[in-house]
């Protein structure tokens, strides 16, 4: 942290930031993305170091944080469970105490949310959730930015956040880390999530960490969830860490494949998103993810732009 910066913030869940902070971050992300596209150098994080700790596999999270940090003038340290003492039972609290004395920022992808919370509680520097069993806030940050980029007018203060108000996001699939994070976002930013999961895979409002259940509606039939939706989104049937359930999940989720029939229920201008990696023919049909309503490649790219804005915010605070 910069000496004198008193208020250290972590980003462990979507609800760790307020609506007004999201509005600011989306505007910073828009500016940072434009500069990147114009090959303009912007290096406010020179001499800053990000430690990235991966206890699960990653493509997008790794590349977006690493490339983003280098572009902003900083550097990264990449740690995995097997390649560090984390895999040899060093307590997470001790790891936090040590790592946070040497770097300025930490990103962690791990299993239980309690683990990242324990790390953050013993860290001297801000900690970012790069995915846990319960949440994936950086992904929803990118998803919302992508929605605004495609659907919201830009005013003097950036994207019109009212463009999200009253909108319907259809969630088709597992009541997992992505679904939980969508619910937190809906509660903070004023939209509704239509959730359809197979029996036994429902979202749990307590795990999702929402104040009330007003931000979502449950549908047994995924087609009904898609009716009138502004955005249809899904995720893998089996998340990382749940591989032992793979066969049972394949049976349970067979009717939860986003196909053109489901998309036809949504608004004609509805977007399709998927955090990726995708399994065509399982949770999404190829003609949907590769079709005209899909914005998955923008969504993946935007991970980098929004995370650059997030890192800038956590390390420097507001610009200007």
Active site residues: 109, 136, 139, 235, 275, 303
Shortest distance, CB of residue 5 to ligand NVA, whole angstroms? Answer: 31
> Site residues for ligand NVA, window 65-84 (CB under 6 A)?
none
For the sheet containing 49-54, what is the strand order? 75-80, 49-54, 105-109, 127-129
Among ligand CP, ligand NVA, none, partner that 236 touches (CB below 5 to 8 angstroms by kind): ligand NVA
Q: How far apart are CA 77 and CA 168, in angstroms?
A: 39
Judged by CB under 6 A, does residue 197 bind ligand NVA? Answer: no
Which tokens sit at 41?
């150098």
Shortest distance, CB of residue 61 to ligand NVA, whole angstroms? Answer: 7
Among ligand CP, ligand NVA, none, partner that 120 touches (CB below 5 to 8 angstroms by kind): none
Shortest distance, CB of residue 85 to ligand CP, whole angstroms? Answer: 23
Angle at 204 between CA 219 and CA 165, to 5 degrees: 65
Burial call 138-163: b when 16+ CB within 10 Å, e when fewer: bbbbbbbbbbbbebbeeeeebbebee
Judged by CB under 6 A, does residue 131 bind ligand CP? Answer: yes
Q: How far apart are CA 47 and CA 75, in angstroms?
A: 7
> Site residues for ligand NVA, window 239-258 (CB under 6 A)?
239-240
Binding mask 173-192 for ligand NVA (x = CB under 6 A): ---xxx--------------
Residue 57: φ, ψ to 5°? -65, 160
Judged by CB under 6 A, does residue 235 bind ligand NVA? Answer: yes
Task: Choose which of 18, 43, 59, 248 interacts with ligand CP (CB under 6 A).
Answer: 59
What is the per-residue DSSP string for 7-51? ----BSSGGGS-HHHHHHHHHHHHHHHHHHHTT----TTTT-EEE
Q: Which is nearer to ligand CP, 142 or 161 (CB)?
A: 142
Residues 6 or more apart whose Cβ sits within 8 Å of residue 9? 16, 17, 126, 313, 314
Residue nearest ligand NVA (C-beta atom): 239
Q: Would you tell me which residues interact with ligand NVA (CB under 6 A)?
A: 131, 176-178, 235-236, 239-240, 275
Q: Would you tell me which residues interact with ligand CP (CB under 6 A)?
A: 58-61, 131, 139, 275-276
């Amino acid at each position: 942290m910069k000496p004198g910066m008193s208020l250290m913030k972590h980003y462990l869940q979507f609800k760790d930031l307020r609506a007004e902070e999201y509005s600011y971050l989306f505007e910073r992300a828009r500016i940072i993305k434009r500069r990147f596209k114009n090959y303009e150098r912007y290096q406010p994080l020179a001499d800053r170091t990000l430690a990235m700790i991966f206890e699960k596999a990653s493509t997008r999270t790794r590349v977006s944080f690493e490339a983003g940090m280098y572009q902003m003038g900083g550097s990264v340290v990449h740690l995995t469970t097997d390649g560090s003492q984390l895999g040899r039972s060093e307590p997470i609290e001790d790891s936090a105490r040590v790592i946070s004395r040497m770097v300025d920022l930490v990103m962690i992808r791990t299993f239980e949310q309690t683990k990242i919370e324990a790390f953050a509680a013993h860290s001297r520097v801000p900690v970012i959730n790069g995915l846990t069993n319960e949440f994936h806030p950086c992904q929803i940050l990118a998803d919302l930015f992508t929605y605004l980029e495609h659907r919201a007018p830009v005013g003097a203060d950036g994207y019109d956040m009212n463009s999200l108000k009253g909108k319907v996001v259809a969630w088709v699939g597992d009541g997992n880390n992505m679904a939980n994070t969508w619910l937190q976002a809906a509660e903070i930013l004023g939209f509704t999530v239509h959730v359809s999961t197979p029996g036994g895979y429902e979202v749990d409002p307590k795990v999702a960490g929402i104040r009330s259940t007003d931000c979502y509606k449950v549908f047994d039939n995924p087609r009904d969830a898609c009716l009138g939706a502004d955005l249809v989104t899904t995720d893998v049937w089996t998340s990382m860490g749940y591989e032992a359930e793979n066969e049972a999940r394949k049976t349970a989720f067979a009717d939860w494949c986003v196909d053109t029939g489901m998309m036809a229920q949504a608004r004609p201008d509805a977007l399709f998103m998927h955090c990726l990696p995708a399994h065509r023919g399982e949770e999404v049909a190829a003609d949907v993810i590769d079709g005209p309503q899909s914005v998955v490649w923008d969504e993946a790219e935007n991970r980098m732009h929004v995370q650059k804005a997030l890192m800038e915010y956590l390390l420097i605070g507001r610009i200007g």
